[in-house]
Amino acid sequence: MKKLPRRLPPGVDIVRLAGNIGAEIRGVDTTGPLDEEVVATVRAALLAYKAVFLRDQALTYAGQVAFARLLGDLTLGHPIFEAPGDKPHLREIDSADGTRANHWHTDLTFLDRPPAFSLLHSVVVPPVGGDTLWANTASAYADLPPELRDLADRLRIVHSNDSDYTAATVVTAHRDFVSTVYEAEHPAVRVHPETGERSLLLGGFARSVAGLEPQASRDLIRVLQDHATRPEHTVRWRWRPHDLAIWDNQATQHYAIFDYGGEHRRGERVTVAGPAPVGVDGRVGVTLRGDASRYHTGEAA
CA dihedral sign, ordered 285, 286, 289, 292: positive
Catalytic residue among 107, 112, 243, 248: 107
Q: What pLDDT was estimated at residue 3?
A: 61
Q: What pLDDT was estimated at residue 98?
A: 81
Q: What pLDDT was estimated at residue 85?
A: 87
Q: What average pLDDT does the segment 221-236 reach?
A: 98
Catalytic residue among 78, 198, 269, 296: 269
Catalytic residue among 43, 89, 91, 105: 105
Q: Looking at the predicted structure, is the pLDDT value of residue 100 above 90?
A: no
Range ranked top by mean pLDDT from 23-27, 78-82, 296-300: 23-27
Q: pTM of the predicted model, to two decimals?
A: 0.95
What is residue 278's DSSP assignment?
B
Residue 107 appears among annotated catalytic residues: yes
Q: What pLDDT was estimated at residue 178?
A: 67
Q: What pLDDT was estimated at residue 165?
A: 61
Residue 269 appears among annotated catalytic residues: yes
Catalytic residue among 103, 207, 233, 254: 254
Residue 254 appears among annotated catalytic residues: yes
Q: What average pLDDT does the segment 2-17 reach?
A: 85
Collapse the DSSP code of 275 into the 3-class scheme (helix H, G, I; strand E, B; otherwise coil) and give the result: coil
Contacts of 116 (CB under 8 A, 6+ apart): 71, 72, 193, 248, 249, 250, 271, 272, 273, 274, 275
CA dihedral sign, ordered 211, 215, 218, 223: negative
Q: pLDDT-derived band of residue 297, with 50, 70 and 90 as boundaries? A: confident
Query: H/E/C letters for each residue in 99-168?
Result: ECCCCCECCCCCCCCCCCEEEEEEEECCCCCCCEEEEEHHHHHHCCCHHHHHHHHHCEEEEECCCHHHHH
Distance of CA 7 to the CA centre of its chain: 28
**Integer Cα distance of 39 and 262 in angstroms:** 38
**Domain layout of the chain by residue ranges:** 13-297
CATH architecture label of 13-297:
4-Layer Sandwich (3.60)
